[in-house]
Amino acid sequence: MIKKLRRKFIIVIMSVVTSIVVAAFIGVLISTVGSLQRDSRFSLEEALSSYDFDNNTLSPGTQPPNPDRSNRHIPSIKVLIDENGNIIFMINQIFNIEDSEAQAITKLAVDTGKETGVIKEYNLRFLIKKSPNGSIRLALVDNSMEKTVIENLLLNSALIGVSTLLIFFAFSIFLARWVVKPVEDAWNKQRQFVADASHELKTPLTVILSNVSMVSGEKNITDKKTQTRLENILAEAKRMKVLVDDLLSLARSDDVKSKAISERSNFSSILNHSVLIFEPILFDIGKRLEYDIKDDLYVNADSTKLRQLTDIILDNACKYSLPGTPVTVRLKSVNKNDICLEVDNESDTISKDELSRIFERFYRLDKSRSSIGYGLGLSIAKSIVSELGGKIWANNEAQHTTISVQLPTTR
């Protein structure tokens, strides 16, 4: 629980920081790209405005639109095309492009039908302006510098962003430990109290059970009311003992310092033993047990905990299956590394919200089922599965509830 809380805290911090870093990066990228495109547009406007096309000549003409930047000379290609699509004049100031290539590039730019754009294969940005008489003025400038700047920006931003996220990740781990520390202390005290209380309650409960059993078995008690009261005390004491045992199991599962016993256990054999125990129980209450258990599937775990796990899930299916319906148990291999236990029973429809909470401690589905158990069984099962490095989940479709457990197998 504490680990999950820390993990959620780290995820929240990293999500916020990542969002800020990404937003900042996108803002810088948009601003830079916009600035570079404006510079390219200015260069194109300058190339067209520095010559007089109106008289169909390429002689120097008007001043550029921004005199403050007119001293910056960028190599360009300037082309005048008549109304029939013929190139009348061309000035090529880009040294690495031949005139024949410039003519082909001119055709590509005109064929796009756009006023401005980029010819990617030549790294050229173009601007086209049409005159009333049908002639076309075309300017092209090299945008390879624009491409290089953007690539460098992406690379530098990625390096800075990753470094920033790593620093914040390390900081968030430290911060998560510091923030969660009071919660961890309170949780440990609560767990210790539950464990101590469970231990302390076991002794008086054992004494009560033994004494009530002895008294109720005496022949000199003939009063039916007294006998009934003794039977009620015995029944409630047994229920309390079950609750105390469950609480103790949860306390032990929460003890992160305790080391689980690890051994190669035959899960198929353990499940078969549980099935043999529950089969007559189901038969007595008018239900039946169907099973398909693959032989010799092994798990590296404590056999006692595996038996506890199977008993909990089968007991849950017995309690909540509809009268006269079967409980189906399946154990199979899902891949080379995992095995899957499925226990299916017909039941009332369970909402998604309730289904997501059935593994919570002390949670029971509804009032009609509140008298059955204490809502600890599936919580204990989840703790055992988590300790074994597996997964447990529930599905409810077409009035069928299926509890599935996936565990890592061993050969």
Q: Over the stretch 176-216, which tens digit does the pLDDT of each residue have? A: 888 888 877 777 777 667 666 666 676 777 778 788 777 77
Task: With H, G, I as helix, E, B as strand and everything else as coil, classify residue 228.
Answer: helix
Q: Is the pLDDT of residue 331 over 90?
A: yes
Task: With H, G, I as helix, E, B as strand and everything else as coil, classify residue 69.
Answer: helix
pLDDT tens readout for residues 273-296: 989 988 888 888 888 899 999 998
State percent of the chain over pLDDT 90. Answer: 11
Task: With H, G, I as helix, E, B as strand and everything else as coil, classify residue 33.
Answer: helix
Say if residues 384 and 310 touch (Cβ distance below 8 Å).
Answer: no
Which tokens hold the place of 18? 């990542």
Q: What is the pLDDT of the chain when averaged over all its residues?
A: 80
Structure confidence at residue 1 as a pLDDT band (50, 70, 90): low
Q: What is the dihedral of CA 145, 148, 152, 154, to 10 degrees?
A: 110
pLDDT tens readout for residues 12-58: 888 998 999 899 999 998 998 888 888 888 888 877 776 555 554 44
Q: Is the pLDDT of residue 70 over 60?
A: no
Residue among 274, 313, 301 at smallest CA distance from 389: 301
Task: With H, G, I as helix, E, B as strand and everything else as coil, classify residue 221.
Answer: coil
157-164's contacts with Cβ under 8 Å and 24+ in sequence apart are: 157/25, 157/28, 157/29, 161/21, 161/22, 161/25, 164/17, 164/21
For 321, phi then psi, to 5°, come to -75, 150
Say if residues 396 and 350 touch (Cβ distance below 8 Å).
Answer: yes
> What's the predicted TM-score (pTM) here?
0.51
For 51, phi then psi, to 5°, come to -135, 150
Strand partners, 199: none
First to last CA, the chain: 31
